Every structure is written in structure tokens, then in C-alpha cells.
Structure 1
């Protein structure tokens, strides 16, 4: 659905809900609808963190408390306008999101969940026992409610406000998640190493996801406090964190409509079982296990295939012009490796290795298995730091730089073992390659400003051009993981080219390819070289190496044993010995047999 059509649809749905709720004469039902709005705000932000970034958090009750107690303290101890207090509560919640993210994101998996759980428990204890500030079980009374025309909002007006905020949150998050930042967050969930290799700042993206979840949850907490004009520690429980997580998982994590479905269903169930708290807790535990093991895609995941768009070939006009220039080309030294050594305990996959790469050349790094070739590629791209030595790219030292920074400098790569974002489309994979080249920031994306529109259109057009270059234009909308292995290799190559590299590092690009595919790859690499990209490839297919390389470097047990033109290297006795071994002298063979 086009963005303008979606906007109209959301506005019409919001207007319809406002009209329907206007007919409600019972404050109890209005209260249920209001709590649906509150829980949707919590779940929508949590979906960014869990469904997109893949970070499991059990501390949302603490962020809910941050917003609730912020607005409570600001309106009871100062003369701040309650509307300004609501905005301030969102900002305070964002700060709390950063504070919880910084230590939490240094761990992964279950450890991350445990750290966030600890945060939620600490906040629960803090508001329950620091009575001088937070009131404990007695709570804080006299919180100023939001007003309209000088009068506190009625129950119906609270519902209208909740509907409006939910519609706004949905539209803003859709802007964010359907563009540059949404792709980046999904890439984190799939493969953080591959994500950083295309220029995504992994840690920063995770922090952004935490902050988004914190802001929406903080606003929800502030609304509850202002609507009740009262807040105490009974609102802040571990049960709340589990319920918010359940809203996302049950509705469908990673789906923009999953939080809405989960909120409507579970809030209605929650209201129906309000008289039986023990039954509530049992049902939540059951539904959480059910969602995790029986329908991991949630309710929306069961029906998503019915609504999935059929793959359509992109318009020829958008991809007709195959790019003639990717890198700057030119002449001179591009990369200088000087005395690089790497120690893994007693193992040394690189020992005082030195070489220089020239612009406009196709270089090959070869050697027997275990020679240290992939380790060298990983050191060049920042995945591994060398123990000793210097690596200079474009005259700048890259040792110790983060992976995304080296990518931004102009060094792209593929991996020995495929690292595609398999659930994303081929087009989205390649568009992710241009993440670091896009200039639209967080707020430009959130509000879909003209700069974000231009960058998205330019990125899409460039990605289609690169897919045309590698012969995959007709498969642009297919899931990358559904393609045959040889075509997946080409997708990874196109994604690396989308980073606009001056130097392209290929780690065994022909691995798993048949002879015809290998020959086609060789012709493709020659075409890429003519587009201004210098290449360094690690490869075992000697026919491919000798047919397209301008310069060959040979490693054996981490030591450079030869370097030069393909014919020279092929005739080098040390290279022959490294690959084929040498016959033992006849006398030694007799001696060994006699022994």
C-alpha cells in the first residue's frame, strides 16, 4: 500500500473509532478502550526492540514507571503545565532507555533478558521502598490531569487522546521501520557481523531501538498516572513487563499490526478475567509458551501468507542503465599491509606478512587450507585486530577501527560462509549495502522528510542497477534465502558493491559453484573491475585465479612465500611445494622403511 493511501486509511480508522466510542455510555467500556490505547503504545515500541532488533527485554515495567513517576513528580512538586510534563516524561524515559541500553547491550541472548529483568526489579523495589520520593505503597496523589479549555479531560476525551496518540505512533514507526533504520534493525536480528560489514553501526542501532521502546512505554505510563491522578508501586510489577512482551509475541513480533492484534485480544481477555487474578497469571504464562513454541510468528504470522504481495519485476526504466562506475578507479597504491602478525595463543595464522595492493587491479590471495587467508581478510576489514603490524587503506591506519567505519572508508567484502539476511528480499539485502551512504538521519526518517524520500528513492534505484549488473533483477522481490546457492552468492556480491567500495574483498566467492557458474563469476568480476573497483579475492579455484588476476599473493602457514604475476607464481618452486609437496629422496625412503 502506498504511503498516502495508508495515511488516509489510518485517519479514517481513527475517525471511525472516535465516532464509535462517542456512542459508549458506560465509563467501564471507555476505560477498557483507553487501556487498549495505553498497552498498544507499550507494545508498538516493544515491537521495535523485540520484533525488529531482536533484543529480548523484561524491564519494560521500569520504563513505564519512569514516565509515570516523572509526570507525577513534575506536576505535584512544580507548577509545570501537565502537557509539558507529558513531553518531559517522554524525554526522561528516553534517557532511562539509554541508561538501560548501555550496560545491557554488552551481553546477548538470555543474559540480555536477565540484565533488563534486573533493571525492572530494581525500579520496582525503588518506587516501593523509597517512600520519601515515590510514596511507596501509598503512592503519589494530586497528579495534574491533562486539560482542554481549562477543564480536565473527560473519560471520553482521554479515549480520543489515546486513539490519536496510537495513530500517530503507528504512522511514525511505520515511517521509521519501512526505510533505512527498519532494514538496519532487521539486519541486526539476522546477523550482526554481516550488518556491521555493510556499514550499520550495530551498537548505536540497538540503543535507538531501546530508546524508541522506552519513549512509547514512558508516554503510556504518564498517561495512566495523569488519567488516574494517582500512581503507586502496585502499578509497577514484573507482571506488567511479561504482559507487554506477551502483547508483542502473541500478536506477531516483527509485524506492524501484530502489537495491535495482541493488544485488542489480550486487553479484552484481561478485562474478562479481572475478577480472577490467579487465572490471569496462569493464562499469561500459558499464552506466552504457546506463542513461543506453537506459533512463533504470532496471530498475524498465521495469516501473513494470505496477504503477502506477489513478487513483481521492477520497472525496466528504473534499472535500464547498468552502472558504469562504482569505485573511483585510477592508479597508485590502495592498501599497504606491513609486518602484520596475528597470534591466537600458540597459533599464528599470520606471521610478519607484508604486501601492497594497486588500484585498478584484481589481486588474489591463495594458499593451502589453514594458510591464514580468511584471517587476513578479517584483519583487513576489522573483524580481527592484528597483534602486530600496520594496515593502511587510502593512507589511513585501519587497525583497531570498527568494522562499520572501515566499510564507510570504502572497503566492502563478502564472506566464506554466506551471511545473507535470508528473510529479507533480494532488493532489501542490496539496499542495506547502501546504509552507510544514505544521509537521512533518525528524525528525517521518523517524519519521512523530503531528504528521506530522496535517499530512499536513490538507494532503491541504485540497488536495482546493481542487481541488473549481477543478473538478478528479475528476482528482486524474492526472499534471499529462497534462491539457489549460486544466486545467493551473487546477492552477497551485489550487497557488497552497494557499499560503493574502492576495494572489494571476496572470501572464496566461487565456493560451492559448479564449473559453469565459476566461469560466469570470472566474467562478472572482470566487469566489476572495469567499473572502478579494485578486488582482492581469496580463492581455491586456480583456473579462476590464473585467468582473471593481475597479481597473486601466496600464504603458507601464515607466511608469505611468493608474490607476483600469475605465471610467475605458478612456476615458483615454493608454491608448488606448498600445494603439492615434494618427493622424499630415495635414500630417506629406504631408511624410513628399514626403521
Structure 2
């Protein structure tokens, strides 16, 4: 077990205490409010609780998963009507109707997200507008089911054959809202939440740590649709009357405004947004026609002056307020041993990677032409050549980002030609990128910890209820992530944003993430780009440690002194074709290589 001690600093502890006091005060006020407030205010706060549930659902979709949808008013309406019909027409208990409405909304979300996962995000937004219009037509025209434009009544709200009054309804809604807020918090503080955030930040890098982003995007939208349907189900029994006009595009604008005001991708944003946006219309009771103008103006102006919303802006100026940030206060014991943390592959196959006839064409341009290359287990194999020679295209085909036009790729004795990137990571292959790809919405230590996601075993249920198993695995993962940060001398910047690091430090951070995946083959695409001479020397030492640990390395690099120093074998390509191969000494003296690099008169 790694021995780094990760603790919050004094400022983090101060903000954590303040945050807990604010939460305790809000909970206390919410709990005792019905004892002092009148019926009007009790119903108003109950409505805000319902909107918080809806905003939490939208936040999981747009804020964390990066899936913008204009159909949440439709999901809200589906949940409301299905729940109302289940309770009134089929005499189902309230809790069963609640579940029916949530699941119906989730199924609608699933039907929409399955085809939408094949297209870009803006196409999903267009599809969602179509869904909103379809639901509007169904609610207005399907008289038997919805009552049509005249709406439908829900006569009572019964739980266990007990008819609830407004006082009791308030506490039921309060409990459901608390459950949804805690669910969001627990989910986003787990590997499942980090996976969704990673997809929003960078799909290719997410696939590079083993995330099937299409399935995760579907799962994220499905969960958010369920929460929207749950909010609609609660609203149906709370209001006692449903009308199709409630679930129109105007209400979609209301939902978007909650996200914009509160702050997408923050845990407290849905609460702040729901409170503010509920009270804004009250300022225009004397001129209701102005409400939509104000809503539209806020949607245009707020992203310009406060793009992160209220919660995001507070976090920007008070970074330590995020209680998920950590630093190392103390380190004990010996240096972290890479070799002890490598997954041993006992394969007797000496050639870990075999490439035969690899070809890639982009239209009429052949980027890689019939390349043959073999990488021996436990070696550093460099792939070099002039700019535009096809090096990055080659490693993109090997790692599953690009699909070869011709040829075959064999890894650990099994053909992987055309295999998906996220599948290859599970087979023991990880990589860094020519242009750095980090998850900027995650801290430095979280960027490394997500590399170890392949070794988690706790389920989404463990995440929601924060079981002992989940806490143990998370603690172990973050401790080990800190040890990998120590290898690249970034452990003192564990709670920084990746964007605050220098270009060289970002490259090293990518290396630490790829290394934490404990691969058989580590692919490095220009890892020293942006590194200083001192950092390059340190990098060479790290490469020696990695190779000594038994990890094979395929590296693209333009720093020739480094290539000659650390490589066991070198393959040289030019215009997509192999022109030389061998040990550093033979390649260094090859006249064809000199001509390719220096020109005809070399």
C-alpha cells in the first residue's frame, strides 16, 4: 500500500466548515419552515424542491456529461402524465406511480439517446427539439390518455392509504429532493462521475483510459431523464392538475436558465439556480409579458459575464472551497517502486507488437504505405522520421484511433486490427498524445487517478450509497495516484487545475496517467515536446525505470540525442514507408536516414 498522506490544508478545512454550516442552516430552515410559514410559502418552497430535482437531472446531462438537450420539459411532462394516469386510472399507489413516471421518462430518454449517440452533440440538441414537439402534440391530441388540452385532475395524494395534506406533502417532497441531491453528489465524487466528466472534456482521451463514451453518454442521459421524470411525477401529485401548456418550450427556457444561473457542472448549481429562477418571475407579476423577455436576455447575457454561473464563479475566486482538492502534507517510507506496481504478463511471446503491411489512405493521399515493424518485449522502440512522415498516423492505427486501410496489427499474440481504442486499453495498451489531452474539469491528481479506473471493482450502487468497498478503493486509488505524481515531481500540485501547469508539466502528467494504467505496451507520441533540457533528462531517467519494470515502449520523438540514448531499436519512416531499422548505432550512420533528414546533399 502506498504511504503518501493526503490531507486538506487549513484554508480547505476553513471553507469546508463554512460550507457544512451553510448546508446545516439551509436544512434546518427547510425542516422547520412549515411550522411558521403560511400555506402559500410552503407550496412555493415545495415547488422549488421539485425544480431542484429537475435541475439535478439536467445538470448530470449537460453539466457533467456534456449532453445539451432541449427536451427536459418533455421528460418532465412524460413523468407527470404517466404517474397521474397510473394513480388515477389504474388506482396504483403513489410510490408505484412515482416509479412508473420516472421509468417512462427514462425509456423515452433511452429511445432518443440510442440513435443520438451516433451523432455529434449539436445534432442531439436538434433531435431533442423534435422530441419536445412530439410530446407536446401527444399531450394535446391523445384525449383518452392525457385529457387533451383540457388537462386532467389528480384528486388525492395517498401513501399507504393515507391522504396527505400540504404539510405532509412538503416533507415527502423534501425527502425526495434530498435523496436526489445526495445521489448527484455521491455519483460525481466517484469513478462514474469522473468518467462522465472525462467524456465531456475529451472523448479521445476518455477512450484512452478505457471509457466507452457512447455507452456512457447513453447511461448519463438515461439517468438524467429518470430524474426529470421523477420531478414530473412529484409535480403531478403535488399540483393536483396537469395541462399540456405547462410542458412547453417556455418551460425548457426556464430549465436552461436554472443551469446557466446556478452553474453547469457544479454540485450546488441546481439548488442555487432553482431558487433564483423561481423568484425571478415573482418580480414581474405586474407585467407577466416581460417574463420571457427577461428570461431570454438572461440566457444571452449571463454566459458572457458569468459563464460558470454563480456556483462556478464562487469556486473560481475561492478555489479551496472545493472539498475534493488535496495536497500532500507528509511522506514517509521509501521511493515508490514502479516495478512492484506493474501487472506482470507471463506471456512467452517475445514480439509484443507485430505490424505487417500497415497502410492508411486519406482520400488520394497515402499517409502510411505497407509498414512492417516488430517491437520486442521489454524494449524501448523509437519510431522516427521527418515531419509529415506518417508517425502519428501509425500510432493512431496501432492504438485504435484510426482504422487501417490495409494490413494487420498483432498485440500479445492476438490480432487487434481495427479494434476500438477503449478495448485496447483493457488489453494492456496505453498512450500519450502529440497534442496533450487532459481532463481540465478534473484536478491534477484526479487526472492521474482516472488512469487507474480499470482496476476498480465497486458498482454504481456502491457509489450512490458510498459503501465501505467504494471508500476503500477510492482511498487506495488516490494514494497510488499521488505516488505516480511523485515520479514526475508534480505531487505538490495535486490540487491544481491541469491548465495551470506548464506545457512540459502537462506532458509529464499525461505520462503519469498512462503509466497508472499499468500497460504492457506504453505508446509515447512526442513526449518531450515542450520539456526543458532538465525535464528531458529527468524524463530519460523515468523511461529507464519504466523499461526496467518490464513495460515495453513505442516512442515517437524528435529529440535525437534522447532517442539515441534510451532506444534499443529504431524504425525510420519517410513518406509513410520504412527506410531503415536497427539499433541506434546502425541507424545513426545510415546514409539513407541522413538524406531523409538533411536533404539530398547530406
Assess same fold via TM > 0.5: yes
Instruction: Give the alignment's Cα RMSD to 1 decimal.
Output: 2.2
Check the 8 A contact 1:247/1:259 in 2, yes or no. Answer: yes
Moved more, 169-178 or 446-455: 446-455
Judging changes above 3 Å, is the alpha-carbon distance between structure 1 residues 319 and 422 closer, same or farther for their aligned structure 2 residues? farther
Check the 8 A contact 2:573/2:579 in 1, yes or no. Answer: yes
Alignment pair present for 1:368 and 2:382: no
Judging changes above 3 Å, is the alpha-carbon distance between structure 1 residues 468 and 144 closer, same or farther for their aligned structure 2 residues? farther
1:106 Cα deviation from its structure 2 partner? 2.7
d(CA) in 1 for partners of 2:387, 2:64: 38
d(CA) in 2 for partners of 1:116, 1:347: 38
d(CA) in 2 for partners of 1:536, 1:299: 46
Equivalent residues in 2 for 1:247-396, closer than 5 Å? 247-274=258-285, 276-309=287-320, 313-317=327-331, 321-325=335-339, 326-328=342-344, 332-396=350-414
d(CA) in 2 for partners of 1:319, 1:231: 65
Alignment pair present for 1:565 and 2:583: yes
SS of the aligned residue for 2:139 comes to helix
1:436 Cα deviation from its structure 2 partner? 2.6
Judging changes above 3 Å, is the alpha-carbon distance between structure 1 residues 346 and 459 closer, same or farther for their aligned structure 2 residues? same
d(CA) in 2 for partners of 1:63, 1:556: 55
Aligned pair partner of 1:453 in 466, 471, 475: 471
Equivalent residues in 2 for 1:417-496, closer than 5 Å? 417-496=435-514
Check the 8 A contact 1:554/1:560 in 2, yes or no. Answer: yes
Alignment pair present for 1:577 and 2:591: no
Check the 8 A contact 1:180/1:432 in 2, yes or no. Answer: yes
1:327 Cα deviation from its structure 2 partner? 4.4
Judging changes above 3 Å, is the alpha-carbon distance between structure 1 residues 517 and 308 closer, same or farther for their aligned structure 2 residues? closer
* TM-score, normalization by structure 2: 0.92
Moved more, 162-171 or 70-79: 70-79
1:583 Cα deviation from its structure 2 partner? 3.3
* TM-score, normalization by structure 1: 0.93
Q: Deviations over 1:354-373 (max 9, x none)?
A: 11111110110011111110
d(CA) in 1 for partners of 2:550, 2:144: 68
Alignment pair present for 1:499 and 2:517: yes
Judging changes above 3 Å, is the alpha-carbon distance between structure 1 residues 543 and 320 closer, same or farther for their aligned structure 2 residues? same
SS of the aligned residue for 2:196 comes to helix
d(CA) in 2 for partners of 1:291, 1:582: 59
Q: For structure 1, which runs of at least 5 residues remain unmatched after alignment?
A: 585-595
d(CA) in 1 for partners of 2:319, 2:532: 34
SS of the aligned residue for 1:314 comes to strand
Q: For structure 2, which runs of at least 5 residues remain unmatched after alignment?
A: 1-11
SS of the aligned residue for 1:277 comes to coil
Alignment pair present for 1:76 and 2:88: yes
Aligned pair partner of 2:547 in 500, 517, 529: 529
d(CA) in 2 for partners of 1:528, 1:145: 68
**Residue 397 (structure 1) aligns with:** 415
Moved more, 292-301 or 103-112: 103-112
1:450 Cα deviation from its structure 2 partner? 2.3
Moved more, 77-86 or 104-113: 104-113
**Residue 177 (structure 2) aligns with:** 166
d(CA) in 2 for partners of 1:329, 1:226: 59
Q: Deviations over 1:26-84 (max 9, x none)?
A: 32212211110111101011111111122211110110012111112212332322211
d(CA) in 1 for partners of 2:326, 2:179: 31
d(CA) in 1 for partners of 2:179, 2:334: 38
Judging changes above 3 Å, is the alpha-carbon distance between structure 1 residues 250 and 577 closer, same or farther for their aligned structure 2 residues? same
Moved more, 566-575 or 60-69: 566-575
**Residue 129 (structure 1) aligns with:** 141
Aligned pair partner of 1:22 in 27, 35, 52: 35
1:304 Cα deviation from its structure 2 partner? 2.1
Moved more, 532-541 or 85-94: 85-94
Judging changes above 3 Å, is the alpha-carbon distance between structure 1 residues 509 and 269 closer, same or farther for their aligned structure 2 residues? same
Moved more, 321-330 or 255-264: 321-330
Check the 8 A contact 1:350/1:557 in 2, yes or no. Answer: yes
Moved more, 297-306 or 463-472: 297-306
SS of the aligned residue for 2:149 comes to coil
d(CA) in 1 for partners of 2:316, 2:382: 44
d(CA) in 2 for partners of 1:83, 1:425: 40
1:506 Cα deviation from its structure 2 partner? 0.4
d(CA) in 2 for partners of 1:15, 1:161: 16
d(CA) in 1 for partners of 2:177, 2:592: 70
d(CA) in 2 for partners of 1:209, 1:175: 15
1:282 Cα deviation from its structure 2 partner? 1.0
Check the 8 A contact 1:129/1:136 in 2, yes or no. Answer: yes
Q: Deviations over 1:337-380 (max 9, x none)?
A: 11111111111111111111111101100111111100011001
d(CA) in 1 for partners of 2:416, 2:23: 48
**Residue 3 (structure 2) aligns with:** none
Check the 8 A contact 2:360/2:369 in 1, yes or no. Answer: yes
Check the 8 A contact 2:443/2:496 in 1, yes or no. Answer: yes
Q: Deviations over 1:200-239 (max 9, x none)?
A: 2211221222122211111111111112333221221111
Aligned pair partner of 1:140 in 152, 160, 166: 152
SS of the aligned residue for 1:506 comes to strand
d(CA) in 2 for partners of 1:102, 1:149: 37
d(CA) in 2 for partners of 1:149, 1:502: 58
1:487 Cα deviation from its structure 2 partner? 1.3
SS of the aligned residue for 2:280 comes to helix
